[in-house]
């Protein structure tokens, strides 16, 4: 039971390397404002525990559940929750994150997040791909599913859909191994009709360039990802542990997505930095191992994705194919029963994909949470100029006008921070309710506020020419040379 697992671990925080180190730090720097240090510490430790608990929950999945659409959704949920909590930490520690060495860690995280966005985009194409396969199953169901009696033509229709499905899936596998130029312009003569129908299924990548490679991207995300050393942890008050944790979670989630869902140049050889130092390391590494085992299984080795539902598609399509090949008319009662049985199998797979894919895709869209965090971090930087106390108090006597404006600009950050506090129970409460995955929906709320209205076109051309004029004035230094 996962529940007992993490109750045990949360009740024994001494097993947790980070907290030991931070305690040691407290002993060294006892002159520091102890109260603040501990509240930050509680926050950081809670974060570690949250991440560990969530991944323990994921790792508790049995072999049927692992890599299924529901599991992937849970994985994304986990990721988004970790992300949210990380964001709170970022918000609470803006000033510290703005100074070296944290500044560098944060900008590393920013770069990794952007790389992860590209992975998400490629995965989105993969989901689109599965959707097309689902359509072929739909045809099979249309042909064989609803009639009282089935004629030869209907079997042919199903067969054709299965052939198309096989081509599409094969094509996807091809695209995984080779990045060959995809010929999109098939002729339109009858002789090439066969080929043209193949071409139609070819997966055009809409979201990443043709030379993009998921394997390389994962490598890039994983490069230089090593656990912080003890002295670094002390000098950053443990903040770099949080950043490292988030980086690691990001890497693992992206890796698992690439493992499960078809995407361009899949490759799972990414090196995972082995660490046992953190609570969450064990569940993540065990998942990593289990997924690698899946890859090695003989019937999955050439698969275009480890997603359980893809395997189901392959399996039911194979069964259906075998069945249609063995059909003779008139159908015997036994065959008819078998047909019904196989159709049901296809239907089950179809329904599972249909019901799973939409919410999954919606979740992928919430990857924009990554973006929000990224932006949050960027804002930490720009806001520094505004609300850094030295700036505010010394450099300028702000007119009330300017102060108000800063309030406005800071508004969004405050909102995020405040509604976060309002919506999320405190970390302490959350620890007591393991498994309760509340997902803050702030980003969605923010986007749903907007009510688009028509906007009239403006004199864009005019402005374009103005802009050229304006550019002549840029940079302002060039102005200094001559007054007029």
Partner 1 sequence: MERTPLDKHNSFRQNDQTSTSSSAHDGHSRHCSDYETNDSSGRAQIANEVDQFLDVLSAIDDKSSGLAEVPDIVPAFAKVIESEIIMYNSGEANRKFGKVAEEDSFFMESVRRISKLTNALSEFSSNTNASLLNHTSAALQRAMAFLEDEFRVLLDGNDHCDGEVSSQNLKKFLSFNSKHDQPDRSAVQRDSDPGDLDEYPPYPAETVARMHEIAKTMILAGYETECYQVYFFSRRNAIRNKMIKMEFDVILNMDEVVKMSWEQLEIEISRWINVVRTCSEIIFPGEKRLAESVFAESPLTRNNLLSNIVRIVVIQLLDFAEATAMAKRSAEKLFKYLDMYEALQNLIPAIDGESCPSEVMSEVAAAVDRIGESVVSIFCDLENSIKSDTARTPVPGGAVHPLTRYVMNYLKYASEYKDTLEKVFGKQTELAKKYIPSVSDKLSAQELEKESESPHNFETMVSTTPFSIQVVTVMDLLDVNLDKKSKLYKDPSLRCLFLMNNGRYILQKAKGSPEIRQVMGDTWCRRRSTVVRLYHKNYQRETWNRVLHCLSHDGLLTNGKVNKPLLKERFKIFNTTFDEIHRTQSTWVVSDEQLQSELRISISAVVIPAYRAFVGRFRQYLDPGKQVDKYVKYQPEDIEGLIEGLFEGNTSSMSRRKT
- Residues 315-334 touching partner 1, rule: CB under 8 A, are 324-325, 327-331
Question: Strand, helix or coil at 17?
Answer: helix
Interface with partner 1 (CB under 8 A), residue from 7, 319, 386, 441: 386
Any contact of residue 295 with partner 1 (CB under 8 A)? no
**Which strand (E) or helix (H) includes residue 257?**
helix 239-260
Contact with partner 1 (CB under 8 A) among 336, 344, 355, 438: 336
> Chain centroid to CA 365: how far?
9
Q: Cβ 412 to partner 1, closest distance in Å? A: 6
Quick one: which segment of 72-80, 266-274, 368-376, 428-436 binds partner 1 (CB under 8 A)?
368-376
Tell me the closest approach of the beta carbon of residue 283 to partner 1, in angstroms. 29
Nearest approach in angstroms of CB 111 to partner 1 is 8
Comparison of 271 and 378: residue with beta carbon closer to partner 1: 378
What is the closest distance, in whole angstroms, from the C-beta atom of residue 71 to partner 1 in the complex? 23
Chain positions 430 to 469 lying near partner 1, rule: CB under 8 A, are 446-450, 452, 454-460, 462-463, 466-467
Closest CA to 113 of 137, 94, 86: 86
Note whether 414 binds partner 1 by CB under 8 A.
yes
- The single residue among 155, 272, 278, 280 that binds partner 1, judged by CB under 8 A, is 155
Nearest to 172 by CA among 13, 304, 316: 304
Whether the bond into 101 is cis, omega within 30 of 0: yes
- Interface with partner 1 includes 195 (CB under 8 A)? no
Which C-beta is closer to partner 1: that of 30 or that of 326? Answer: 326
CB of 226 to partner 1, least distance (A): 22
Q: Which residue's CB is nearer to partner 1, number 295 or number 385?
A: 385
Q: Which of 20, 145, 123, 122 is nearest to 72 (CA)?
A: 123
Q: Which is nearer to partner 1, 389 or 475 (CB)?
A: 475
Given 35, 408, 428, 461, the residue binding partner 1 (CB under 8 A): 408
What sign does the CA torsion over 218, 221, 223, 228 have?
negative
Q: Are 223 and 31 in contact (CB under 8 A)?
A: no
Does 160 sit near partner 1 (CB under 8 A)? yes
226: left (phi over 0), alpha (psi -120 to 50) or beta: beta
**Cβ atoms of 357 and 134 closer than 8 Å:** yes
Q: Among residues 27, 30, 231, 400, which is the contact residue for partner 1, using CB under 8 A?
A: 400
Positions 83 through 142 that interact with partner 1 (CB under 8 A): 114-115, 117-118, 121, 124, 128, 132, 135, 138-139, 142
User: Which of 288, 285, 264 has its CA nearest to residue 204?
Assistant: 264
Cα–Cα–Cα angle for 97, 382, 99, rounded to 5 degrees:
25
202-261 residues in contact with partner 1 (CB under 8 A) are 204-210, 212, 217
Stretch that binds partner 1, among 100-108, 171-179, 223-231, 407-415 (CB under 8 A): 407-415
User: Among 338, 402, 398, 329, which Cα is nearest to 152's?
Assistant: 329
Determine, following the binding rule CB under 8 A, whether residue 362 of this chain makes contact with partner 1. yes
Among 38, 147, 429, 432, which residue sits at the site for partner 1 (rule: CB under 8 A)? 147
* CA pair distance 187, 428, nearest whole angstrom: 65
Q: Which of 386, 378, 385 shows the shortest CA–CA distance to 407?
A: 386
Q: Which of 396, 428, 436, 461 binds partner 1 (CB under 8 A)?
A: 396
Q: How many residues bind partner 1 (CB under 8 A)?
A: 112
Does 73 bind partner 1 (CB under 8 A)? Our answer is: no
The token pair at 303 is 């698969």
Could you tell me if 339 and 319 are in contact, meaning their C-beta atoms sit under 8 angstroms apart?
A: no
**Which residue lies nearer to partner 1 by CB, 25 or 159?**
159
Cα angle 337, 339, 340; round to 5: 65
Q: Does residue number 354 form part of the binding site for partner 1 (CB under 8 A)?
A: no
If binding is defined by CB under 8 A, does position 151 make contact with partner 1?
yes
Residue 181 found at the interface with partner 1 (CB under 8 A) = no
Which residues 6+ apart lie within 8 Å of 120 measured at CB? Answer: 254, 257, 364, 367, 370
The SS3 call for residue 41 is helix
CB atoms within 10 A of CB 118: 18
Q: How far is the CB of 298 from partner 1 (least distance, A)?
A: 26
């Amino acid at each position: 039971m996962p529940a007992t697992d993490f109750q045990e671990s949360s009740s024994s925080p001494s097993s947790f390397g980070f907290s030991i180190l931070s305690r040691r730090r407290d002993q060294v720097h006892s002159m520091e404002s102890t109260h603040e240090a501990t509240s930050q510490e509680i926050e950081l430790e809670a974060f570690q525990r949250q991440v560990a608990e969530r991944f323990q929950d994921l790792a508790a999945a049995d072999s049927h559940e692992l890599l299924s659409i529901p599991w992937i959704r849970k994985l994304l949920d986990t990721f988004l929750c970790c992300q949210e909590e990380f964001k709170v930490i970022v918000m609470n520690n803006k000033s510290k994150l703005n100074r070296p060495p944290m500044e560098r860690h944060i900008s590393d995280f920013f770069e990794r997040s952007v790389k992860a966005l590209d992975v998400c985009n490629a995965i989105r194409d993969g989901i689109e791909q599965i959707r097309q396969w689902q359509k072929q199953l739909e045809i099979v169901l249309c042909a064989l599913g609803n009639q009282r009696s089935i004629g030869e033509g209907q079997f042919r229709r199903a067969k054709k859909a299965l052939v198309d499905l096989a081509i599409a899936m094969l094509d996807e596998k091809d695209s995984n191994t080779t990045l060959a130029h995809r010929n999109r312009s098939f002729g339109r003569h009858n002789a090439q009709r066969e080929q043209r129908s193949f071409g139609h299924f070819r997966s055009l990548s809409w979201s990443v360039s043709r030379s993009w490679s998921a394997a390389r991207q994962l490598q890039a995300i994983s490069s230089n990802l090593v656990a912080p050393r003890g002295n670094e942890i002390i000098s950053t008050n443990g903040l770099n542990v949080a950043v490292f944790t988030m980086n690691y979670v990001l890497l693992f989630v992206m890796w698992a997505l690439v493992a499960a869902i078809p995407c361009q140049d899949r490759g799972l050889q990414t090196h995972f930095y082995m660490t046992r130092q953190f609570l969450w390391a064990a569940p993540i590494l065990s998942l990593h191992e289990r997924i690698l085992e899946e890859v090695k299984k003989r019937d999955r080795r050439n698969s275009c994705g480890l997603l359980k539902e893809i395997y189901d598609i392959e399996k039911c399509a194979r069964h259906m194919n075998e069945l249609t090949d063995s059909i003779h008319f008139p159908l015997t009662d036994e065959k008819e029963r078998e047909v019904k049985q196989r159709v049901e199998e296809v239907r089950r797979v179809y329904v599972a994909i249909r019901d799973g894919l939409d919410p999954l895709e919606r979740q992928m869209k919430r990857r924009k949470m990554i973006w929000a965090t990224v932006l949050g971090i960027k804002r930490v930087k720009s806001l520094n100029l505004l609300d850094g106390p030295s700036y505010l108090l010394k450099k300028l006597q702000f007119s009330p006008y300017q102060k108000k404006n800063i309030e406005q600009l800071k508004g969004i950050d405050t909102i995020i921070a405040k509604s976060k506090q309002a919506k999320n129970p405190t970390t302490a409460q959350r620890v007591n309710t393991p498994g309760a995955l509340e997902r803050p929906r702030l980003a969605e709320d923010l986007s749903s506020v907007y009510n688009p209205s028509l906007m009239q076109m403006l004199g864009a051309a005019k402005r374009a020419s103005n802009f050229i004029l304006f550019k002549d004035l840029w940079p302002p230094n060039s102005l200094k040379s001559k007054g007029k």
